[in-house]
Chains A and B, each alone.
Chain A
Amino acid sequence: MSVESEVGLTVDGETVSSAADITVAAALLNLGKWRFRRSVSGSPRTPLCGMGTCHECLVTVDGDRHRRACMIPVRAGMRIETDD
């Protein structure tokens, strides 16, 4: 394995490590996180289409709200917040 095979992330304030070269959505699911966001009525939402269409996987990435987790590769040092 190369040195880039793992990256450090901050997820909901916790420092974690994740496989590199995967999407934010995959990384979160690997960590057992499935509550990506909340609907208007407060019910939890999780990735559905995995290809950028359904907007169910929106999370906050480096302070930027409503990013599609399934479309963004993880990057070392990325800060991710879920359950918004």
Chain B
Amino acid sequence: MDRSPDVVIVGAGIVGAAAAHVLTAEGLAVDVVDRGAPASGVTGAGMGHIVVMDDSPAQLQLTAYSRRLLDELAPELSASCELSRCGTLWIASGEAELEAVEAKQGAYAEAGIASEVLDGDDVARLEPELRRPLFGALRVPGDTVVYPPGLARWFLDRAVERGARLHLGTEIDSLGPREVRAGTTTISAGAVVNAAGPWSGRLSPGLPVTPRKGHLLITGRYSGFCRHQLVELGYLASAHDLSQDSVAFNLQPRPTGQIIIGSSRQAAGWDGAIDRSVLQKMVARAVEFVPGLAGLDVVRTWTGFRPATPDKLPLIGPWPDEDGPWILSGHEGLGIATALGTAQILADLMLERRPELDPAPFRAARA
């Protein structure tokens, strides 16, 4: 190695790529190492919903902050990022959930996120494919959708323009606070960032990050079939419980006219095989909400591993103590949605500035 960078980032997924983008913009010399191609792990398996989520106050802050940062970049993004301003509809499944719609609107308003309560007729007009009767929904018009590998590549391209070096197809054996080792090669750096997603615990043994398996499915092209990302209001309850397998209705229209159907959550270790019974439950849940899905062609199904933490918040900072390597991991299903906020907090902490968000809830050493 003919230079020792300021920072070496392990992982060229969306989180590592966003970190490379933000750190090089600060003038730091950055190397990025990945055992495969950019976005070839969790990022390539994800939906790319840039969504504000309110499972906890810290999650609400981080998703809102990250969505704003991506909006600020929107005019610069290439067409390959496939930014789509479809918004989200959080669908109530019955009268009993309408109170939750109001509560959600209140929480979003406090975080500066605009949203609108819709009645059943409004929802039917906006999304005619949804099954009647409809009770209401919360529409979050500012949520967007991206193509995650396209956005990761765009971040890396910007970083490379500013001198970052990529080491792709390079399997890291181990890392320390100031170096990473791959076979006989050692890269020394001012700082090391472990952004290896669900695999981050292999490089930092003891890190509380576990794989949480998900299934997705994509249809052929049916442009105009639906317009918003559609999520059942009960999604958060399903996503929150780490102890058991769950499915929830989550549907995304792609700019190609294709429709991605999710979602499932399982503690299944590293078994990436399609689990037919889970897939069946997931599709049945989606058809309950959108009966017309049953007549569409499916072109592909796949699985991925979300990097999950026990308290459902990402790890951002040095670990296991202040002298350890930096960790950017544990984003679970929100890595695409929160990569930019995560990267900005990392940059602020590294450069000893006060981050705009309180970093305490995300402190890696809390775990």
A residues contacting B by CB (< 8 A) are 40, 64-66, 84
Question: Is there an interface contact between B256 and A40, defined as CB atoms closer than 8 Å?
Answer: yes
- A65 CA to B224 CA, complexed, in Å: 12
Rounded to whole Å, the gap between the CB of A58 and the closest CB of chain B is 8
**Bound Cα distance from A64 to B220, whole angstroms:** 13
**In the complex the two chains form, is B220's CB within 8 Å of A66's CB?**
yes
Q: Which residues of B contact A (CB under 8 A)?
A: 220-223, 256, 295, 297
Task: Give the Cβ gap from A53 to chain B, nearest Cβ, in Å.
Answer: 15
Q: CA–CA, A40 to B223, complex, Å?
A: 11
Q: Are B256 and A65 in contact (CB under 8 A)?
A: no
Contacts of B221 in A (CB 8 A): 40, 66
Chain B, Cβ-Cβ closest to A37: B221
A64 to B256, CA, bound (A): 18
Chain A hits for B220, CB < 8 A: 65-66
**Chain B residues closer than 8 Å to A84, beta-carbon distance:** 223
Give the complex CA separation of A84 and B295 in angstroms.
18
Give chain A nearest CB distance to B16 CB in angstroms. Answer: 28
B297 contacts A66, CB within 8 Å? yes
Distance of A84 Cα from B220 Cα, bound (Å): 12
Q: How far is the CA of A84 from the CA of B225 in the complex (A)?
A: 13
> Closest 5 interchain pairs by CB?
A40-B256, A66-B220, A66-B297, A65-B222, A40-B221
9 contacts between A and B (CB under 8 A): A40-B221, A40-B256, A64-B295, A65-B220, A65-B222, A66-B220, A66-B221, A66-B297, A84-B223
Q: How far is the CB of A43 from chain B (nearest CB, A)?
A: 14
Closest chain A residue, CB of each to CB of B220: A66
Nearest Cβ on chain B to A71's Cβ, whole angstroms: 14
Closest B residue, CB atoms, query A40:
B256
Known: A40-B221, A65-B222. 6 other contacts (CB 8 A): A40-B256, A64-B295, A65-B220, A66-B221, A66-B297, A84-B223
Chain A residue, CB-CB nearest to B222? A65
- Which A residues are in CB contact (< 8 Å) with B222? 65
B295 contact set on A, CB distance < 8 A: 64
Q: Which of A64, A65, A84 has the most CB of B within 10 A?
A: A65
What's the minimum C-beta distance from B348 to chain A, rounded to whole angstroms?
Answer: 39
Which among B220, B221, B297 has the highest number of chain A CB atoms within 10 Å? Answer: B221
Q: CB-CB < 8 A to A66: which residues of B? A: 220-221, 297
A66 to B219 alpha-carbon distance, docked (Å): 11
Task: Quote the shortest CB–CB distance from B82 to chain A (angstroms).
Answer: 11
How long is the Cα–Cα vector from A21 to B235 in the complex, in angstroms?
A: 51
Q: Cα distance A55–B246 when bound, in Å?
A: 36
Q: Which residues of B are found within 8 Å of A40, using beta-carbon distances?
A: 221, 256
CA distance A83 to B47 in the complex (A): 28
Measured CB to CB, the nearest residue on chain B to A41 is B256
For residue A25, give the distance in angstroms from its CB to the closest CB of chain B: 18
Q: Nearest chain-A residue to B258 (Cβ)?
A: A40
The distance in angstroms between the C-alpha atoms of A40 and B258, with both chains bound, is 10
CA distance A34 to B206 in the complex (A): 62
**How far is A4 from B220 in the complex, measured between Cα atoms in Å?**
35
Hey, which chain B residues are within 8 Å of A64, CB to CB? Answer: 295
Q: CA–CA, A64 to B222, complex, Å?
A: 11
Measured CA separation A40–B80 after assembly (Å)? 13
Shortest C-beta distance, B154 to chain A (Å), equals: 19
Tell me the complex Cα distance, A84–B61, Å.
42
Q: Which residues of A contact B223 (CB under 8 A)?
A: 84
Determine how close the nearest CB of chain B comes to the CB of A23; give it in whole angstroms.
20
- Return B223 CB to nearest CB of chain A, in Å: 8
A52 to chain B, nearest CB (A): 14
What's the Cα separation between A55 and B321 when bound, in Å? 57
